[in-house]
Amino acid sequence: MDGTGDLFEPLAQAMGQRDTIDVVRYPGTEALGYDELERLVRAQLPASQPFVLLGESFSGPLAISIAAAPPPGLRGLILCCSFARSPAPGLALLRGGLLELSMKFMHSDLMRGPMRHMLLGRFATPRLVASLQDSLRQVTAAVMTRRMKEVQRVNVVDKLSQVRVPAMYLQAMQDRIVPAQAARIIQRALSGLRIVRLEGPHGLLQAAPVATALAIQNFCSELGNPEPATP
């Protein structure tokens, strides 16, 4: 949800020099919704080569929307710890002033423990925690509030029936944010979806970069090795 793209570094290293990852970064000071972000992402996708689109967490609905009306080079879709509709009914409790207040304290010492617990759990390391905090510092509370509101209302389930490219879902077995049901909802609407379950927390690409890189490389090799782009 931070959108800085910095947290993809562990995955990029695990993928190695042979595989190119183009990271689409979101502005940290502009409170953009899914519609505006989709236009931003589409404008930065490869124009002259085949690619696979990877949508992690918050970005999953964007990736689904793009795959439903795909650019010419799209060859595959990967979703990681993501969802097609709001993944947790409890998020509805964070509305109005309560949501804004919780986002305001996002950068405080008070929230470091809960954020680490929810995103990384027992897989947290000093390096991962530092990277997470550095990324969050680059995003304003107003931006995070807007993105949380977008998550609360999003529903792109109907668009899944329009996805024609091969698709894979990377599911973290210790995800404390997105429940396993989110993958099942997507699979019911997208029958060809391949679900790959891996040990790790919601921050799966960060905590288990080698395992996720292998799954991505295997998926891409079946498509003829297009290069992944990650919003």
Averaged pLDDT of the chain: 86
Q: How confident is the model at residue 98 (pLDDT cuts 50, 70, 90)?
A: very low
Q: Domain residues of the chain, as ranges?
A: 6-230
pLDDT of 96 above 50:
no
Q: How confident is the model at residue 109 (pLDDT cuts 50, 70, 90)?
A: low
Q: How confident is the model at residue 81 (pLDDT cuts 50, 70, 90)?
A: very high
Q: Higher-confidence residue: 185 or 119? A: 185
DSSP codes joined into one string, 64-84: HHHHHS--TTEEEEEEES--S
> Which CATH number is 6-230's, of 3.40.190.170, 3.30.420.40, 3.30.450.40, 3.40.50.1820?
3.40.50.1820
Give the CA radius of gyration of the chain.
Answer: 16
DSSP 8-state secondary structure symbol assigned to residue 18: T
Please return the burial class of 152, using the count of CB atoms within 10 Å of its CB with bins 0-12, 13-18 and 19+. middle
State the pLDDT at residue 97: 46
pLDDT of 227 above 80:
no
